[in-house]
């Protein structure tokens, strides 16, 4: 897992061409104007999901992992308290769905607040949460790039 600000993106280009492409897309496009939905950036390599939502309060930690994709997540507006844990032998809450490329696990997460201008990279060995915040009132616009492994 990597967390940083977009102005430091070039430090991570060597992690792979798909990651570099996603970070360059963030730097070179106005992500506040793209309509919510899924977009193909590079055929069979990088796709983008534009999300807008109101956070939901929860005290139940459900963490997801992927096998076929690396997530590059970028916060355009709003903020989230995101959780992370290394995928080990956690309890399976929802069996892995190959078609949708995710499984859900119980986790003991470490949390970091991500705000506009920040990104996170989650690899297949990383568990991560979605939409957890103690404030429960923030509207979020987040872009998730799916980079094929």
Residue holding tokens 């109101």? 54
Tokens of 39: 């977009």
Lowest mean pLDDT among 72-76, 85-89, 104-108, 136-140: 136-140
Give the pLDDT of residue 69.
98
Residue holding tokens 């992992």? 65
Write down the mean pLDDT value for the chain.
92
Give the pLDDT of residue 134.
61
Spans of all domains in the chain: 2-148
Q: Which of 119, 109, 25 is nearest to 72 (CA)?
A: 119
Contact call for residues 71 and 119 (beta carbons, < 8 A): no
Q: What is the pLDDT of residues 46-70, one digit of tens each?
A: 999 999 987 766 666 789 999 999 9
Q: How far is CA 135 from CA 44, 52, 81, 126, in A?
A: 37, 17, 9, 25
Q: Which of 111, 121, 114, 113 is nearest to 85 (CA)?
A: 111
CB atoms within 10 A of CB 118: 19
Alpha-carbon dihedral 145, 124, 13, 34, rounded to 10 degrees: 10
Contacts of 58 (CB under 8 A, 6+ apart): 131, 132
CATH topology of domain 2-148: Jelly Rolls (2.60.120)
């Amino acid at each position: 897992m990597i967390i940083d600000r977009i102005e430091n993106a070039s430090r991570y280009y060597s992690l792979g061409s798909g990651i570099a492409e996603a970070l360059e897309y963030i730097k070179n496009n106005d992500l506040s104007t793209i309509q919510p939905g899924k977009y193909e950036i590079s055929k069979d390599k990088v796709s983008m999901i534009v999300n807008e939502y109101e956070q939901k309060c929860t005290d139940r930690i459900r963490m997801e992992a992927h096998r076929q994709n690396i997530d590059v997540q970028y916060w355009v507006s709003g903020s989230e308290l995101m959780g992370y844990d290394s995928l080990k032998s956690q309890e399976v809450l929802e069996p892995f769905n190959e078609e949708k490329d995710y499984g859900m696990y119980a986790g003991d997460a470490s949390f970091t607040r991500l705000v506009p201008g920040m990104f996170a990279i989650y690899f297949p060995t990383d568990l991560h949460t979605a939409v957890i915040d103690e404030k429960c009132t923030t509207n979020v616009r987040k872009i998730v790039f799916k980079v094929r492994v």
